[in-house]
Every structure is written in C-alpha cells, then in structure tokens.
Amino acid sequence: MDNHEVEILLVEDDPFDADLTIRALKKMNLANRLVHLSDGVAALEFIFGTGQYRRRDPGDVPNVILLDIKMPKLSGLEVLQKIKSDERTKLIPTVIVTSSSNDPDIQRAYALGANSYIVKPIEFDNFSKTVSELGLYWMVIDKT
C-alpha cells in the first residue's frame, strides 16, 4: 500500500467547504492526488470499484478519507459503516469532518470506527488551519 493512485478521498457535498478544504491541502502540498466526491453513493462506488467507477482498481485504497456526515443519497455515517465493516477497507483511516457537534453524531461515528472527528470551524482561517493540520497528520505523521 505504498504507491497509491489516490492519497486523499474528500467526500463533501458543500462546494464552498470542499473548495476551502482543497485549497488548505494544496497550501500544504497535500492535494496532488486528491479526489473530491459530493455524495455517499459515489464515495462507495469509488472505494469499492463499482457503478461509475467499475474500471477503478478497488485494491488501490486512499491513504485517508475525509468524510462529511450530512450528504445527499447516503449519509457519511452510512458510508463509514460500510467502509469499516468490509475487510478490504476497514483499515483506511477515515476522518469525519463536519459541522455537526452533536454528541450522538460523535458517539455514533466513533462506534462505527471513525479514526477522528473534526468539527468544522466557521471562520476561514481556523478552517484552513484545521484542515492543513489534519492533512499533515494523516499524510505525513501517522503511519497507520
């Protein structure tokens, strides 16, 4: 698992938040191999190489998945549950990056196997700093 085609899979339905996240990762030179998807169904198709991504090798897993909770078609928690319940994907570090600071969401995410839960800061500078630190940790420091 050393030579990944995709290092970061960003699953975020809000175009503004996705753009901020991508810009923050680019600033840290961590977005060279990033794929952005905007709903849970597309994320699962990408990860497992089905549907519109059936030609993609599902063995080429991302180094980290940044996953929003509230998305169309399939929620982030449902995506997380599928990822963590499959032997092929359960070890992919999956970070919830969401505006929800509700304790039940946090507890459910960790119960399903989330590696981290980050609440999006409202202010741009704080958001950018948080995403940069998050990317740096999961892409450079952590050796999962």
pLDDT in tens, 41-64: 999 999 999 999 999 998 888 988
For residues 22 and 48, give the distance between their C-alpha atoms in angstroms, rounded to a whole number. Answer: 23
- The residue with tokens 């990408």 is 46
Tokens standing for 138?
Answer: 């999961």
Tokens encoding 44? 């699962």
* pLDDT of amino acid 44: 97
Average pLDDT over residues 20-30: 80
pLDDT at 31 over 90: no
> Residue 139: pLDDT above 60?
no
CB burial of residue 141 (10 Å; 0-12, 13-18, 19+): exposed
CA–CA separation, 138 vs 17, rounded Å? 19
Which of 107, 110, 71, 70 lies closest to 94 in space, CA to CA?
A: 110
The pLDDT-based confidence of 27 (bands split at 50, 70, 90) is: confident
Q: pTM of the prediction?
A: 0.83
The per-residue pLDDT for range 76-130, each reduced to its tens digit, is: 999 999 999 999 999 999 999 888 888 999 999 999 999 989 887 655 566 666 6
Please report the domains of the chain, with CATH numbers, ordered by start residue: 8-139 (3.40.50.2300)
Give the residue from 82, 4, 3, 2 showing the smallest Cα distance to 42: 82
The token pair at 135 is 């990317």
Q: Which amino acid is at 13?
A: D
Measured torsion, CA atoms of residues 43, 49, 50, 51, in degrees rounded to the nearest 10: 70
Q: How far is Cα 144 from Cα 130, in angstroms, rounded to an integer?
A: 20
Q: What is the pLDDT of residue 100?
A: 81
- Cα–Cα distance measured from residue 56 to residue 83, given in angstroms and rounded to the nearest whole number: 17
